[in-house]
A and B are shown apart, each in its own frame.
Chain A
């Protein structure tokens, strides 16, 4: 099956530093990658949608200058949290979308990464 990896799986950093999180599709090419944030006991919230070679589309309320997304290839997207603060502490999850076919039709399927837990001190 399709595998999506994230690195690192967890990171602790000091306030004011920048943190980069990588999302890779290991055995398929992803047409689109999504970045989500999940606070404790809450559901996933979409932060941005990223297509290879183009600028990411950010959801309302998500600062694009704070959460920099680079989608350099069809298998790699990165999220950089710039000048991180304690309120940025969260669980960040990426997913990668690819086109699948089941014999009758084609459809986009999302495969999720294992997540990255960011703690900002």
Chain B
């Protein structure tokens, strides 16, 4: 079993729909990241969470530390939101260094 699980693996939505992507993890973490990877491959960090909720534009990320679960929501989805969304958890590694463990990603396609 992967230490970081995402669902769904693939998601197709119509423009304007509200989208939720889920992430569950089984290890102790110091923070959780939501990343966006476009078809060209470049990765953009959307959020880093250690508790509660963060909002940036149409994106909202929440985390429940007790349940080891996080969600990424996209409101009023748009075709330009089409990308792979990756959940990554930060774990302590070799003293002070942190490393990220990545989920397998959710491929989102928003159709006009």
Contacts and interface: CB of A to CB of B under 8 A. Distances in A.
Nearest to B88: A44
A97 B98 CA distance: 9
A17 interface: no
Interface residues of A, number: 24
Given A107-B31, A112-B45, A43 B102 contact: yes
Given A42-B104, A43-B105, A115 B98 contact: no
Interface in A37-55: 38, 42-46, 49, 51
B29 to A, nearest CB: 13
A115 B99 contact: no
Contacts, number: 54
Contact of A112 (B44, B93, B104): B44
B100 interface: yes
Given A112-B44, A115-B42, A43 B86 contact: yes
Contacts of A38: 41
Q: On chain B, which size bracket covers the interface? A: 20 to 34
A43 B104 contact: yes
B-side binding surface: helix, strand, loop or mixed? strand
Interface in B36-80: 40-45, 48, 50
B94 interface: yes
Contacts of A109: 45, 48
Contacts of B97: 32, 49, 51, 57
Interface in A8-60: 32, 34, 38, 42-46, 49, 51, 57
Interface of B: 31, 33, 35, 40-45, 48, 50, 86, 88, 90, 93-94, 97-105
30 contacts: A32-B97, A34-B99, A43-B104, A43-B105, A44-B86, A44-B88, A45-B102, A46-B99, A46-B101, A49-B93, A49-B94, A57-B94, A91-B41, A93-B41, A97-B98, A107-B31, A107-B50, A108-B90, A109-B45, A110-B33, A110-B45, A112-B35, A112-B42, A112-B44, A113-B42, A114-B40, A114-B41, A114-B42, A115-B41, A115-B43
Given A110-B100, A112-B45, 9 more contacts: A34-B99, A46-B101, A49-B97, A51-B97, A57-B94, A91-B41, A107-B48, A115-B42, A117-B41
